[in-house]
Amino acid sequence: MAESYRRSRWTNGLFVVPYLSVFLTLLVFPLGWGIWLSLNKVDLFGGERFIGLKNYARVLSDPIFGQAVKNTLIFVGVSVPTLVILGLFLALALNKTSKGSSFLRGLFFASSILSVTIVTLIWRIVFIPNDGLMSLIFEFFGWQPIGFLSTTGWSLFSVGVATVWWCIGLPMMLFLAALQQIPKDLYEAAALDNASRWRVLTRITLPSIKSTIMLVAIIQVVMQFQLFGQAQLMTNGGPAGSSRPIVMYIYEVGFLRWDIGLGAAASQILFLIILCAAMLQYWVSTRKEEVDA
């Protein structure tokens, strides 16, 4: 009887049929169809005409796409390390069983449950000129007001602040979970050696949660590359496109200019960029391990 359960049977495959059918129709097919669209001159209301790689050439020569890629890379480059470091710091600070810690843990994770429109609504009302919380604070201290959402440089930064505020919960939780997994005897040994806190952190804690740091970084890179709602709702990509991310470029090309062929081409490029970034990170981390070993 037991052997028959272990035996390969096609009926066992029925368990994966529901998922696979969804997977094929809603992921694999659209992926292929998206690639096909990217090779066509096609707008929202039809009119397919095969044009080869022309859409890709247009995307790559579009200075605005270049700007969007640059914005996105800067955004990812700054927001991901911030999220990782801040998340790690919070996890280290709140890795206790006290009431206060558990309250703060709950607090820092709470923003993650809000939807992007609420988050941006909150931060818009914080950043708006004249009436916003920031401008009141600046006024109070007598500082020169800053147009947080309307000045090149500051706009992307403001989007980043809202994003970190929104996303900080998950990295913190993942790090907390990892900290709990570190074998206690490692610390006991360190305590006997009278090791300093900094030494414990760099020699025991961080190496023990290395894989989690990597996991958090990869998750965040993939997530932050997909920046869209915050930028669209807070700055609409402005001023002068200085906070327009790639996804917003795709959206605008597709739904404002109707050019879904071009939009599809841009989204394939984004796909490649994300894939490369995640793979690069993975490669760097595994290579490091080899070096360490």
Partner 1 sequence: MKAFNYSPEHLTSNRQLFWIAAVLGVIMMAPVAWIIGLSLKDNAELLRGTEAVFSFPYTLLNYANILESSSVFGWFMNSMIVAVGQTVGVLLLSSLAGYAFARLEFPFRKTLFIIVLFGLAVPEQAVIIARHQMFNWFDLHNTHIGLILPNLSSAFGVFLMTQFFRAIPKEIDEAAMLDNASTFRIFWKVLLPLTLPAQATLGIFTFLQAWNDYWWPLISATKSDMYTLTIGIASSQTNFAQSEGLGFLGAQAVFASLPVVIVYIFFQRHIVTAVSGGAVK
Partner 2 sequence: MKKLLLGTTAIGLLALSPLANANTTIELQRFFGACEAEYGKATDVSAAVGECGIITTLVNKFAAENPDINVKVSTVEWPGYDQLNAQLASRSAPDVVSMHYSAMSDYQSRGLLVPLDKLLKDQSIKATDFTDAAITSVTKEGKIYALPFDNWTMLFHVNNNLMKKAGLMKADGNPILPTNRDELFSQGKQFKDATGKPYLVQVLANETATYARIFYTLMMQQNSKFFDDPSHIDLSGQDAKAALTFMKDIVDQGLSTKNLDYPAAVSAFSNGDGGIAVNGTWLIGSYDAQSKESNNALSNGYSVFPVPQFFKQKDVTYTDGHGWVVPRGDRSDEKMAAIGKLFKFFYDNNYEWSRTGHLPTVKKVIASNEFKSLPHRSDIAKIAKTGQALPSAVLRQFAIQDIIGEELSSAISGNKSIDDALKTAQYRVNDLLENI
Could you tell me the sign of the dihedral formed by the alpha carbons of 272, 273, 278, 283, in that order?
A: positive
Indicate the residue among 185 and 290 with the shorter CB distance to partner 1: 185
Helices (H), the chain: 2-6, 17-23, 29-38, 54-61, 63-93, 99-110, 116-127, 133-141, 154-167, 169-181, 184-192, 197-200, 206-208, 210-225, 229-234, 246-251, 260-292
Asked if 93 touches partner 2 (CB under 8 A), the answer is: no
**Contacted entry of partner 2, partner 1, none for residue 95, CB cut-off 5 to 8 Å set by kind:** partner 1
Footprint on residues 133-152 left by partner 2 (CB under 8 A) = 145, 147, 149-152
Indicate the residue among 83 and 247 with the shorter CB distance to partner 1: 247
Asked if 181 touches partner 2 (CB under 8 A), the answer is: no
Footprint on residues 54-73 left by partner 2 (CB under 8 A) = 58, 62-64
Do 243 and 64 touch, CB atoms closer than 8 A? no
Indicate the residue among 160 and 229 with the shorter CB distance to partner 1: 229
Residues 272, 56: Cα–Cα separation, whole Å? 13
* Number of chain residues interacting with partner 2 (CB under 8 A): 34
Question: What DSSP designation does 143 have?
Answer: P
Residue found by looking up tokens 């992007």 in the block: 116
Query: What single-letter amino acid sits at 242?
Result: S
Footprint on residues 227-246 left by partner 2 (CB under 8 A) = 235-236, 238-242
**Contacted entry of partner 2, partner 1, none for residue 285, CB cut-off 5 to 8 Å set by kind:** none
Among 4, 8, 11, 130, binds partner 2 (CB under 8 A): 130
Look at residues 267, 274, 271, 268 and name the one whose alpha carbon lies nearest to residue 251. 267
What is the smallest separation between the CB atom of 265 and partner 2, expressed in angstroms?
12
Residues 119, 138: Cα–Cα separation, whole Å? 22
List, in order, residues 6 or more apart from 116 with CB less than 8 Å away. 166, 229, 230, 233
Asked if 287 touches partner 2 (CB under 8 A), the answer is: no
Asked if 90 touches partner 2 (CB under 8 A), the answer is: no
In angstroms, the Cα distances linking 10 to 4, 134, 254, 262 are 12, 63, 43, 43
Indicate the residue among 34 and 241 with the shorter CB distance to partner 2: 241
Indicate the residue among 178 and 262 with the shorter CB distance to partner 2: 262
Among 128, 195, 200, 223, binds partner 2 (CB under 8 A): 128
Residue found by looking up tokens 């368990």 in the block: 15
**Contacted entry of partner 2, partner 1, none for residue 149, CB cut-off 5 to 8 Å set by kind:** partner 2
List interacting residues with partner 2 (CB under 8 A): 41, 43-45, 58, 62-64, 128-131, 145, 147, 149-152, 155, 235-236, 238-242, 251-252, 255-259, 262
